[in-house]
Amino acid sequence: MIFGTLPSGETVEQVDLSSGRLRAGVLTYGAIVRSLEVSGRDVVLGLDTLEDYQTRSRYFGAVVGRYGNRIAGGAFTLDGVEYHVPVNNGTASLHGGVEGFDKKVWAVEERTGQSVTLRLTSPDGDQGYPGTLTARVTYTLEDDALRIDYAMETDAPTVVNLTNHSYFNLKGEGEGDVRDHVVTLDAEHYLPVDEHKIPTGELAPVKGTPFDFTEPHAVGERYDGQYDHCFVLNEGGATVTAGGLTMEVTTTEPGVQFYSGSMLDGGATPYGPFGGLCLETQHFPDSPNQPSFPSTVLRPGERRTSTTTYRFTS
């Protein structure tokens, strides 16, 4: 169905998917997961209109890139050349810059009743990033799960870190906040950050800290619930439980950014603080400036892929 039209004249479509008890609405604008219903309960935060996504969005449900999360100082060096990307979050470049992938119209490449593949071509120099990058994201509903498959190719060396920025509230969209959601993370280390939320480079043990989610804890139980940190994943991924529903997150990515939604603004968006939480599976923040982190460099002739699955049980 047609969801809206941008001032440029580009049409934005909503692609509806269904499988078993799951229903999803995916927008071509930003590759946004606008809705995800589990037995009729919408468990992601969404907005009503295309204008809302342009003016009120906090990346709700979007694929963010070319580099999800932060790059310190909006600069990095690749193969001896320094590149500058827009600073849009304090002193950092966040989620690809001012006009990231969340603000682009993706093309529908393939679709079925259960799956859709969206494609975006980001030209050389887009937001300062080198190389023409072709990104594909496939959303598939299967076996009580939403699976997200990413594929990326480039014609020149670049850095790339794609992730989905859905906010989850397992009690239902708009049904109170998520500080009572119980979270488990199979992560023995996390990335401490400085005052600008840039990783210090240390992989710190979670044991004995409020960042230890190796055993279940409610979001609001410690640290005033103010989480916006990257965790170094083992094999087990993450689990969230609330409202009689459990979401299990598995991924091929090395980390997950756990953001508790504490900075959601009930004036600028329909949702107040802690209205939803994010589990953004990804490579580490600021990896282009951190040689000890897993590399996010993509080179011509390579095809990088990754998969993240959100599985629901009750």
Amino acid code (one letter) for 305: T
Distance of CA 195 to the CA centre of its chain: 22
Count of domains observed in the chain: 1
pTM over 0.85: yes
- pLDDT at position 296, please? 98
**Range of the structural domain that residue 46 is part of:** 2-313
Q: How far apart are the first and last CA of the chain?
A: 31
CA distance 147 to 170: 17
| Residue the block writes with tokens 């009572």 | 180
Distance in angstroms (rounded) separating the CA atoms of residues 6 and 51: 8
Catalytic-labelled residue, pool 95, 153, 165, 181: 165
Q: Which among 278, 260, 177, 194 is positioned nearest to 224, based on CA atoms?
A: 260
d(CA 97, CA 116): 26
Among 33, 314, 15, smallest CA distance to 164 is for 33
Active-site annotation holder among 153, 173, 248, 280? 280
229 carries an active-site annotation? no
Residue 302 designated active-site: no
Look up the CATH number of the domain holding residue 58.
Answer: 2.70.98.10
Instruction: Give dist(CA 40, CA 225) in Å, integer.
Output: 28
Query: For position 277, what pLDDT does the model report?
Result: 98
Q: pLDDT in tens for each of the 314 residues of the chain?
A: 999 999 999 999 999 999 999 999 999 999 999 999 999 999 999 999 999 999 988 899 999 999 999 999 999 999 999 999 999 999 999 999 999 999 999 999 999 999 999 999 999 999 999 999 999 999 999 999 999 999 999 999 999 999 999 999 999 988 999 999 999 999 999 999 999 999 999 999 999 999 999 999 999 999 999 999 999 999 889 999 999 999 999 999 999 999 999 999 877 788 999 999 999 999 999 999 999 999 999 999 999 999 999 999 99
Closest CA to 230 of 283, 294, 184, 160: 283
Q: What is the pLDDT, as a whole number, of residue 58?
A: 87
